[in-house]
A and B are shown apart, each in its own frame.
Chain A
Amino acid sequence: MSESFPTESDLHAWLDGRLPAARRDEVEAWLAARPEEAARLAAYHAHDSALRALHQPVLEEPVPGRLVPTVRVRRARVLRVAAAFAWIALGMVGGWQMQRALHPADHEPAPVPIARNAAIAHATYSPEVRHPVEVGADQEQHLVAWLSKRLGAQVRAPKLEGVGYSLIGGRLLPGDAGPTAQFMYQCKAGTRITLYVRTEAPDHGQTAFRYADEGNVRVFYWIDRTMGYALSSGDVSKADLYKVATSVYSQLNP
């Protein structure tokens, strides 16, 4: 033990396979004559292997959806910037509408499309870890009653277990025409889908399913009389999202 050769660092480097071949041979010769030291290093080696085995399963877990959209790249950021502009634009429209009330103008400002707002809300809240929703699915009745009251219309959280998603909960959001609601669902692999619900002006009538790519978020949306719905996801394929959308549609419009 009192030998100055090899150093402790040499021994670790040997263990980690980071010694040049010549040096490695020297260390091995040294160890061969010192069973206690060899046993100590063997224990290190065994613990290292066990540690790798212990954490190996994490590599094979599916990556939660919330981590991937963070990377798939700046489009989410672009979307956020777009959101900021949208709000500024809304502010301008608001000011302009006040003027218009005094001086009726000849053309309507285009409303911010539901798909855009839904995608922004999805991009904002679906990656949340600790607070994805304001009210959890464990208080679903309260959630639905609360959102219905705030929207001034009966809203419902469809059951999506049949297509692989369960409700996490929901939250209230500001919209350009009053409060809106967001329900969040998650599948077993952690992929999230959000359903955005808002009230619509009565003259909108009905629309078929429509589809929009909003940055990195796919959105199916439709309007049914006085309610507008948009189903968003960053990770689910268009076909799969369509399947979920039809399930939502059939439950909300029986």
Chain B
Amino acid sequence: MRDSDAVVALIPRLRRYARALVGDRGAADDLVQDTLERALVKFHLWRPGSDLRAWLFAIMHNVHVNHVRARREFAPLDDETLEIPVRATQEVALQGRDLGRAVAQLPDGQREVLLLVVLEDMSYQDVAEALGIPIGTVMSRLSRAREKVRTSMEGLPGPGRLQVVK
């Protein structure tokens, strides 16, 4: 079962994304577990050769939407539920809480796009497919998300000197 090994290899990334998306560790692993179960049931629908990661993230998106819908109220996460992963370096830890909060306060759709692009380094096309939205929407959400994070981080102890990019 090579395919299932490939799925297993992707679990850490699914967990990272889920944690960043929902904040709470237990809820994030629930999301991963439900995603994996759904993926197993639907495994025959996956086209071998197509991007397994994009397929899994698409499933996770749908499961997440259902979870949110089931809860009815999706409020931005508050500090209580926001778990900053441990073992962050000191600099990251200082900034992490503010950054984590800024990202958590984004609307769900914008947060998903930002995380897939930044954490997963996913192409805009793959993001559009995973989330089932037009690529134009991906771009506008990405743009709003980055700008909102920037404005909420302004005035806070910043990321140090701005670096020259690439």
Chain A residues proximal to chain B, CB less than 8 Å? 8-9, 12-13, 15-18, 38-61, 63-64, 66-68, 70-74, 77, 127, 129-130
Contacts and interface: CB of A to CB of B under 8 A. Distances in A.
A52 B116 CA distance: 11
A57 B87 contact: yes
Contacts of A16: 117, 121
Contacts of B67: none
Contacts of B150: 40, 43-44, 47
B159 A52 contact: no
A51 B162 CA distance: 16
A48 B150 CA distance: 10
The residue among B115, B117, B118 with the most chain A CB atoms within 10 A of its own CB is B118
Contact of B99 (A45, A51, A67, A68): A51
Contacts of B33: 66-67, 70, 127, 129
Nearest to B92: A53
Contacts of A58: 12, 15-16, 19-20, 85
Contacts of A46: 158-160, 162-163
B63 interface: no
Contacts, number: 136
Nearest to B39: A71
A71 B100 contact: no
B139 interface: yes
Interface string B13-25: 1011001100000
Contacts of B146: 12, 44, 47-48
B162 A74 contact: no
A48 B149 CA distance: 10
Contact of A51 (B8, B29, B118): B118
A68 B8 contact: yes
B8 A72 contact: yes
A53 B123 CA distance: 20
A50 B95 contact: yes
13 contacts: A39-B162, A44-B150, A51-B99, A51-B103, A53-B88, A54-B99, A56-B16, A57-B86, A58-B85, A71-B11, A71-B36, A72-B4, A72-B8
Contacts of B8: 68, 71-72
Contact of A43 (B26, B115, B159): B159
